[in-house]
Structure 1
Amino acid sequence: MASSVNETSEYAIEVNDVTMIFNMASESLTNLKEYFIKLIRRELFFKEFRALKNISFKVRRGEVVGLVGTNGSGKSTMLKIIAGVLEPSEGECVVRGNIAPLIELGAGFDPELTARENIYLNGSLLGYTKEFIDDNLEGIIEFAELQDFMDMPLKNFSSGMTARIAFAIATITEPDILIVDETLSVGDVFFQEKCERRIQRFIESGDVTVLFVSHSISQVERICQRAIWIEKGDLRMDGPVNEVCEAYRNQFN
Structure 2
Amino acid sequence: MPLDALTDAPNAIEVTNLGVRFRRNRRGRRSLKDLFAGSARRTRPGEFWALHDVSFTVKRGESIGVIGRNGQGKSTLLKLVAGVLLPDEGNVAVRGGVAPLIEITGGFVGDLTVRENVRLTAGLHGMSRTDVDRRFDGIIDFAELADFTETPYKHLSNGMKVRLAFAVVSQLEEPILLVDEVLAVGDKAFREKCYQRIDELLADGRTLFFVSHNERDLRRFCTRGLYLDKGKLTLDAPIDEVLDAYNGDYA
Alignment CA distance shift 1:139-1:72 (3 Å): same
Does structure 1 conserve the Cα–Cα contact (< 8 Å) formed by 2:127 and 2:172? no
1:146-170, Cα deviation, whole Å (9 max, x unpaired): 1001111111111111111111111
Structure 2 distance, partners of 1:70, 1:109, is 29
How much has 1:113 moved relative to structure 2?
1.1
Counterpart position of 2:157: 158
Partner of 1:33: none
Match of 2:96 in 1: 97
Cα 1:202–1:109 shift into 2, 3 Å: same
Distance 1:242 1:138, change over 3 A: same
CA distance in 1, matches of 2:230, 2:121: 33
1:149 paired with 2:162, answer no
Superposition map of 1:9-88 within 5 A? 9-24=9-24, 47-88=46-87
Q: Which letter does structure 1 place at the counterpart of 2:145?
A: L
| Alpha-carbon separation, structure 2, partners of 1:212 and 1:25 | 27
Aligned counterpart for 1:229 among listed residues 227, 230, 249: 227
Match of 1:123 in 2: 122
Unaligned runs of 5+ in 2: 27-43
- Does the Cα contact within 8 Å between 1:112 and 1:154 map onto a contact in 2? yes
- How far apart, CA to CA, are the structure 2 residues paired with 1:164 and 1:7? 32
CA distance in 2 between partners of 1:93 and 1:182 (Å): 22
Query: Which amino acid in structure 2 is aligned with residue 84 of structure 1?
Result: G
Alignment partners' CA distance in 1, 2:91 and 2:132: 34
**3-state SS of 1:62 partner:** coil
The answer on whether the counterparts of 2:61 and 2:202 sit within 8 Å (CA) in structure 1 is yes
Q: Which amino acid aligns with 1:199?
A: I
The aligned counterpart of 2:34 is none
Question: C-alpha separation between the residues in 2 aligned to 1:8 and 1:147?
Answer: 41
Instruction: Show CA shifts across 1:228-252 (max 9, x none).
Output: 0111201111100101001101112
Q: For 1:6, what is the secondary structure of its paired residue?
A: helix
1:23 shift after superposition: 2.7
Between the aligned partners of 1:204 and 1:118, the Cα distance in structure 2 is 29
The equivalent of 2:6 in structure 1 is: 6
How many pairs does the alignment contain? 230
Residue in 1 that maps onto 2:41: none
Counterpart secondary structure, 1:221? helix
CA distance in 2, matches of 1:24, 1:219: 32
List runs of 5+ in structure 1 lacking aligned partners.
Answer: 27-44
CA deviation after TM superposition for structure 1 residue 25, in Å: 5.0
Distance, in Å, in 1 between the alignment partners of 2:61 and 2:25 is 41
Contact 2:99 2:172 in 1 (8 A): no
Shift of 1:98: 1.2
CA distance in 2 between partners of 1:149 and 1:180 (Å): 26
Structure 1 residues 210-219 or 167-176, which shifts more? Answer: 167-176
1:75-126 Cα distance to aligned partner (Å, 9 max, x none): 0000000010001110000000111010011111111111111101111221
Runs of 4 or more consecutive aligned structure 1 residues displaced over 2 Å after TM superposition: 5-8, 23-26
CA offsets 1:174-221 (integer angstroms, 9 cap, x no match): 32000000010111111111001110111122x200001111112101
For normalisation by structure 1, the TM-score amounts to 0.87
How far apart, CA to CA, are the structure 1 residues paired with 2:122 and 2:173? 14
Partner of 1:247: 245
Paired residues of 1:109 and 1:118 also in contact (CA < 8 A): yes
Residues 46/132 of structure 1: CA separation in 2 closer, same or farther (3 Å cut): farther
Q: Say whether the 8 Å CA contact 2:176–2:208 is kept in structure 1.
A: yes
- Kept after mapping to 2: 8 A contact 1:174/1:208: no
Identity %: 44
What is the aligned partner in structure 1 of residue 109 from structure 2? Answer: 110
